Structure 1
Amino acid sequence: MKNNNFRKSALALALAAAAGFGASANAAVEVYSAEGTSLSVDGYFNAFYVNRDDKIADTQNSRVKMGFLPNTIGFNFSKEVGDLTLGGRSSFWTTINDSLDSPTDTAIDVRQFYATVDGDFGQVLIGKDFGLYSRSNIFLDEILLGFGSPGAPGGVSFGNIRTGYPYPTPSAQITYRTPDMSGLKLAVGVLDPANTATGAGDEQSAPRFEAEATYSADLSGVALTGWVNGRHQKSEDVATGNDVTSTGLGYGLRASVAGLSLTASGFTSEGDNPVLIVNGPVTEDDADGFLVQGSYAFGANRLVLSYGESDAEVLDVETENTTVAFFHDVNSNLKLVAEYNLYEDSNRTTDATVTETDTVALGAVVTF
């Protein structure tokens, strides 16, 4: 399977889906292309004026921050070698939220740094990329280019992470993807495991396993996309013999017709952090959540209604998030965003409200 074009990043595909861009609108700028070798660059820039009303603390804060997605620049490489196409991507994600908290000390992290080998067999990816569990849940979130639920006043926003799906934490991995089989695509991977037991001498004798299946079809003008994904791993405290088995299942369905799009997704997990996969002890308690969204595109505009919940025994917390967002395309590379968000979380044991905020976010997004 030869490919003369650069392999689009997961971010580029997600942005294209969320923003309603055509396939070429979010394409990278090609820097070099000759004799089967290409190099391209893509970028994503955004800033929001954010006004947050904290009902519990009885305070109101105004900030200028980035949205749910950080500002990003990515570099893509592709080279045809015989029957194979070798590729690679490195992307650098930076926050602008530290303007005064840490002056001139802007944090940069690398969430994608991988190589790919494409052929008739499909694709093998080696390196660091987003995980497969909850991958489509977040990449097909209608407010991906918006702001979503807030974090700390100077911290990042969370979109619908923790209120409908966990974050597919970028991890070192070896992942195989099948070719497109009449709309069906499968991906399976081994990923660096998280240390989730409690002892000082923990071990993970097997890697983290993740997989995702997606299916797309057009039924009499109705575009359907469905997906299911999951993960499994075990971490053991060698001193006590206690272990934590972590499992997660994500799923969703989107239907679109004539500018109207309806999406429902959810997850259920056990022994798993329902916010993001990190090292740190967890119990084998349950967590689950769902996200329902509707959007309507008319002309250069898109209106989104979104509601999500998560219920996590493992963190003893219940969360809910409601968002109304309006997106306007000035052109294919510039988007204006207006969003109103209501977020609340409470302690499951005491039922006490811990956080209750109303947030207005007004911003602009530039892509190339």
Structure 2
Amino acid sequence: MTKLFKLSLITATMTMAAFNANAAVEIYEKDGMSFSADGLVNVFYSNSSIDSTNAAGMEEDRTQSRVRTGFLPSNIGFNFAKQLSDVKIGMRSSFWVSLSDSDNNRDASPADLGTGSLIDVRQFYATVSGSWGEVLLGKDFGLYNRANILGDELLLGFGQTSDFFGLVDGGNVSFGNIATGYTYPMPKAQMTYRTPEMNGFKLAVGIMDPNKTAGDSSEELPRFEAELMYNTSFNENSSMKAWVSGVAQTSEINDVEQNQSGIGYGVNVMFSGLSLTASGYSSKGLGHVAGLDHIVGVDTIESDGYLVQAAYTMDDNRFVLTYGESETTNAGNVEVVGIVGDAVHSNTGVAYFRTIVPGVTAVFEYNNTEVDATNSLIAEDNNTFSIGAVVTF
């Protein structure tokens, strides 16, 4: 569960650059060189009513109120760029914290209580780009399912807080639709090449530090990930974006080869204020929470998920309907994040976003999260109401 807490802190940091790029403050720009900063702070009041059944078949019902971080952790980022003839050099680093670090879990050790803030760095990379494309060197988020999470309409909101994952009392962020429609693209040391856009298409391919299946496992090759994006506009008020991504890695432990692979996909269509999104993924040998970061090492484990959303924007108002579901088929009955056997995780949500002034957004949200793991006798029905604010610059 500790790994899940750490995961929840870093869930959507890769989206912050996308959110804050347009709002970045230019600190210096002269002679082809620029330096800028961007930031985000959010905080939510949430109330969760949980009806659950544990692995012993016992019912456990409770209600919990929190004041905490939403799906995006608070952060500050710094960007540098320098034009050298026909080559551009860039760098980005981002530092982010959890606001949910107070004395909220009496079962924690004394060292885990108080205001630790969990300051962390998950983006620290350089880019070299030109007419031939771009090379990224350093630590950034993975390509597999990257566009799925970037396309989530709840990125500025709250999303699911399954008590099964320890998210209600967790000291970090909520989960959005992680494990209820997509897996999280964990940040990794990587070397990634992106092509220039060609007729709306843009391809990214990367070699990344592999995930260990065990302390003594052998990975002869790095992990390979790729993403193909397509963007087009029909007119001034309508556009379409589609994508497909993939991942592959092989490990060997005790002379047994274990293969992990996955594919993600999706499409978004926007016209006259209406946004419709459908995305999904399918994987083998991977977990349903963070993909390769929770390798379980057997080919008998398969995970599939999908997310469908509709959003309508009218002036300063945005309304969102969402449903996501992930299903894990575990023919080998190996324990995966506390579950033995098959499991279904789903989240149904409705949200309202109101722009108060540019850079300040109020959020009102309701999510119903359900877990059904009949082989383990585990079940959960979680109703969460949340209200919060997001401030960006």
TM-score for both structures, normalised by structure 2: 0.85
TM alignment of 1:1-368, pairs within 5 A: 11-12=15-16, 14-15=18-19, 26-56=22-52, 57-101=60-104, 102-150=113-161, 151-155=167-171, 156-196=173-213, 198=214, 200-220=215-235, 221-237=237-253, 240-276=254-290, 277-278=292-293, 281-284=296-299, 285-314=301-330, 315=336, 316-349=342-375, 352-368=377-393
Q: Distance in 1 between matches of 2:373 and 2:366?
A: 24
The 10-residue stretch of structure 1 (78-87 or 309-318) with the greater mean CA deviation from structure 2: 309-318
* Contact 2:26–2:36 (CA under 8 A) maintained in structure 1: yes
Question: Cα offset for 1:154?
Answer: 2.8
* Contact 1:14–1:140 (CA under 8 A) maintained in structure 2: no
* Contact 1:195–1:279 (CA under 8 A) maintained in structure 2: no
Question: Cα offset for 1:93?
Answer: 1.7
Q: Distance in 2 between matches of 1:296 and 1:353?
A: 36
The 10-residue stretch of structure 1 (28-37 or 214-223) with the greater mean CA deviation from structure 2: 214-223
Partner amino acid for 1:359?
Answer: T
Q: Gaps spanning 5+ residues in structure 1: where?
A: 1-8, 17-23
1:284-325 deviation line (CA, Å, top 9, x unaligned): 221100000000111100000000000012433210100100
User: What is the root-mean-square deviation in Å for CA atoms of aligned residues?
Assistant: 1.6
Q: Secondary structure at the match of 1:136?
A: helix
Q: Secondary structure at the match of 2:64?
A: strand
2:57: which partner in 1? Answer: none
Partner amino acid for 2:193?
Answer: Y
Question: Cα offset for 1:219?
Answer: 2.7
Q: How many residues align?
A: 347
1:12-52 deviation line (CA, Å, top 9, x unaligned): 46437xxxxxxx7x331011111111110000100000101
Q: Secondary structure at the match of 2:23?
A: coil
Q: Distance in 1 between matches of 2:14 and 2:198?
A: 19
Q: Distance in 2 between matches of 1:89 and 1:348?
A: 45
Q: Distance in 2 between matches of 1:106 and 1:147?
A: 19
* Contact 2:287–2:295 (CA under 8 A) maintained in structure 1: no
More helix by share: 2
* Contact 1:261–1:296 (CA under 8 A) maintained in structure 2: yes
Q: Gaps spanning 5+ residues in structure 2: where?
A: 1-12, 53-59, 105-112, 162-166, 331-335, 337-341
Question: Cα offset for 1:364?
Answer: 0.1
TM-score for both structures, normalised by structure 1: 0.91
1:115-148 deviation line (CA, Å, top 9, x unaligned): 0001111100000001000000001100011000
Q: Distance in 2 between matches of 1:100 and 1:124?
A: 43
Q: Secondary structure at the match of 1:202?
A: coil
Question: Cα offset for 1:207?
Answer: 0.4
The 10-residue stretch of structure 1 (221-230 or 142-151) with the greater mean CA deviation from structure 2: 221-230
Q: Distance in 1 between matches of 2:14 and 2:216?
A: 36
Task: Give me the identity figure in percent.
Answer: 47
* Contact 2:41–2:390 (CA under 8 A) maintained in structure 1: yes
Q: Secondary structure at the match of 1:262?
A: strand
Q: Distance in 1 between matches of 2:45 and 2:282?
A: 34
2:3: which partner in 1? Answer: none
1:43-64 deviation line (CA, Å, top 9, x unaligned): 0100000101111222111110
Q: Distance in 1 between matches of 2:175 and 2:26?
A: 32
Q: Secondary structure at the match of 2:293?
A: coil
* Contact 2:251–2:259 (CA under 8 A) maintained in structure 1: yes
Q: Secondary structure at the match of 1:103?
A: coil
Q: Distance in 2 between matches of 1:214 and 1:280?
A: 26
